[in-house]
Amino acid sequence: MLEIIQLPVLKDNYIYVLHDHRLQKTAVVDPAEAEPVIELLNNKGWNLDYILNTHHHNDHVGGNRLLKANTGCQIMASHFDADRIPGVDIRLREGDEFLLGESLFKVIDTPGHTHGHICYFQPETPALFCGDTLFSLGCGRLFEGTAKELWHSLNKIKALPTDTRIYCAHEYTLANAKFALSIDPENPALNNRHQEVIRLREQGLPTVPVALATELLTNPFLRIKESDHNYNANNGAAEIDRFSQLRHLKDIF
């Protein structure tokens, strides 16, 4: 059984600690800081075997060096980012697979937010650790890649089983909901999700993980084919052009 523990850190980041109980193997996804992870490991009596980095930004790799020094873990990341991420041992590419104990993980290339962004998919749970490619009700900014690259990356995620749990790396949902409602105000699923998000945040609870099925009904960046988006787009334009315009609108919202 794979246990997933969510650690809120910094202003709005999430670190995910993954533990396979049968074989006592542990990994951490995108450790922005080392200290909360070390405290959890000590409390649980677990040793850290792997760090799984999705991309090179410091709020995802800031804890790499200290964790590696303290635990001797190995660091996995995209081959593209191996020279930009501290301490990389294992260079990953699209289609690579690895085991954390008995839990199989598949690597998905998802450029767009950065050139070397990857996601980690665990099909049995099922769970996707998607870094900054997809957020609940939103998607990542285009810091290095193109809208076309990010659009293709999101389509890879859309093709996953709809019961996949989306473990994104930031608590952006409430802010994303405001933009989504400006685009798709008559969407009942989106309005319901917005109210749920408000309730969760008022209780100090996270809004992720979230089911992919929910995102397919509510996230405007996954609903480019829908005709009821309330923005000034040419409905006859190619989907990628509509996506690019929507990403621009979010940037200036």
Active site residues: 55, 57, 59-60, 113, 132, 170
Torsion over CA of 169, 174, 175 and 180, rounded to 10 degrees?
Answer: 100
Token pair listed for 70: 């303290």
How do strand 103-109 and strand 88-92 relate by DSSP bridges? unpaired
Token pair listed for 54: 């999705």
- The number of angstroms, rounded, from the C-alpha of 36 to the middle of its chain's C-alpha atoms is 20
> Which residues on neighbouring strands pair with residue 100, listed in sequence order?
103
Phi, psi (degrees; rounded to nearest 5) at 238: -60, 150
Burial class (CB in 10 A: 0-12, 13-18, 19+), 216: middle
Q: Looking at beta carbons, which pairs linking 221-224 to residues 24 or more positions away fall under 8 Å?
A: 221/134, 221/138, 221/139, 221/154, 221/246, 221/247, 222/154, 222/158, 223/184, 224/151
Q: Is there a contact between 13 and 59 (Cβ–Cβ < 8 Å)?
A: yes
